[in-house]
Amino acid sequence: MNIPFKKADILLPKDCDMTKWSVVACDQYTSEPDYWMDVKKIVGNSPSTLNLTLPEIYLEDSDVEEKIAKINENMQKLTSTDFFKEYKDSLLYIERLQSDGKVREGIIGMVDLEGYSYEVGSTSMIRATEKTVIERIPPRVKVRQNATLELPHIMILIDDDKKDIIESLKNKVTDNDKVYDFDLMKNGGHIKGYLLDDNTSDEVIEKLTKLADKDEFNKKYGLNDKDVLLFAMGDGNHSLATAKACYENLKKEIGDEALNSKARYALVELVNLHSDALQFEAINRVVFNVNPEHLMDKLKEFYDVSYEECDGQKIEYITKDSNGFLWIKNPKSNIAVGSLQIFLDEYLKENGGKIDYVHGDDVTKELGSKENNIGFLLEPMKKEELFKTVILDGALPRKTFSMGHSNDKRFYLEARKIK
């Protein structure tokens, strides 16, 4: 059986200040220009992934086309000089010390985009965990389509409850295998990377292949003849969707020749769902500019709702005049956030209003208790529910869960040629 994960030709800088080289994923701090101004000051004129990526805070700027052209130019300069060292046909094992003191372990390799689909109802081995917003892809395609390099902030999850595939690698590397070891800027923690030898790399692929055994997969989740979900998206869903869109465009242009192109693959980090460092946090909802009583009445029409504790999906709510808990007895999703989002999407389409996705209970309560607003507080999704929910429900609603804080997200570091 062939699985859609392979060793990759990984590029790393030969000689530069790695703390200045590595910056956080472009989809973080999208409402905080001061963060990115500070990063610019830290980087100065040093080589940096800041100059090879486009922070999404700038995606709507009038000069975005010029910014993208400059990124492509910067990539070509680096690839035409002796800046990178290439680790051919390799996997890296990484240890990321997070700001909370926990270590998140991962493997850097590449996924085959032939084995991935972000379409609703996909049964591919690599699947989106949250609904892909198609409108977010074209602006990102503009960044990638003429780029010579990719720098991933994509994090993909495997469900290895035995902690045998990734966690065992710490015992198979030594300081001699280390390819980087440095502090990340802006309270990003610390990161170490190790080159895996051929035998260990092959063993990783072999163990992942066993994890993809269809009979064992169905037995594990109590299912019957379901297609294997081996890789579930953690972070960077729209980045992988963009890579897929660019690859599909290339297939339209050059046909089967695209099957042999570098663009067929995307560099990613694999992380175990069961890592102690991986915490799922709830993302609450606040609905603005609505009549809260009307919304709650419509919710009771949409679902069988109880305000007394029962065997249903529990949701906390808060308005200017009331707060409490409700239980949905006939949910339309495997998880409460999914059932709530299905209702809110319908309600907002018919009645107007605006929704925001809020981290933190205190902020949700503050906003929800204002005139013409309503807040919904959700319990964090259990990590153990993720794979089975995606298998049964398909991709979850956008903003179902968050994996950790912004400063603990993936930083740009490794690169790969895609042209």
Residues 10-20: tens digit of each pLDDT: 999 999 999 99
Band (pLDDT 50/70/90 cuts) for residue 393 is confident
Position 38 pLDDT exceeds 90 = yes
Rounded distance between C-alpha atoms, residue 238 and residue 249, angstroms: 16
Q: Domain limits of the chain? A: 5-279+405-417, 284-377
Give the pLDDT of residue 400.
Answer: 81
Instruction: Report helix, strand or coil for 127.
Output: strand
CA nearest to 276, candidates 408, 163, 107, 389: 163
pLDDT tens profile 313-328 = 999 999 999 999 999 9
Nearest to 404, CA basis, from 239, 281, 282: 281
Give the per-residue SS3 of 185-225.
CCCCCEEEEEECCHHHHHHHHHHHHHHCCHHHHHHHHCCCC
Q: Tokens 């995307």 — which residue?
A: 266
pLDDT of 235 over the 80 cut: yes
Angle between helices 214-221 and 198-211 (to 10 degrees): 60
Judge whether residue 397 has pLDDT over 80. no
Going from the C-alpha of 175 to that of each of 84, 172, 367, the distances in angstroms are 21, 11, 50
Of 180, 161, 151, nearest to 92 (Cα)? 180
| Residue % of the chain over a pLDDT of 90 | 76
pLDDT in tens, 41-95: 999 999 999 999 999 888 888 899 999 999 999 999 999 999 999 999 999 999 9
Q: Which of 294 and 399 is assigned the larger pLDDT?
A: 294
State the DSSP code for 27. T
Give the helix/strand (H/E) hosting 37. helix 33-43
Partners of 402 in beta bridges: 281
What is the Cβ-side half-sphere exposure of residue 231, based on CA atoms within 13 angstroms?
Answer: 30
Q: Please give the structure tokens belonging to residue 207.
A: 């163990």
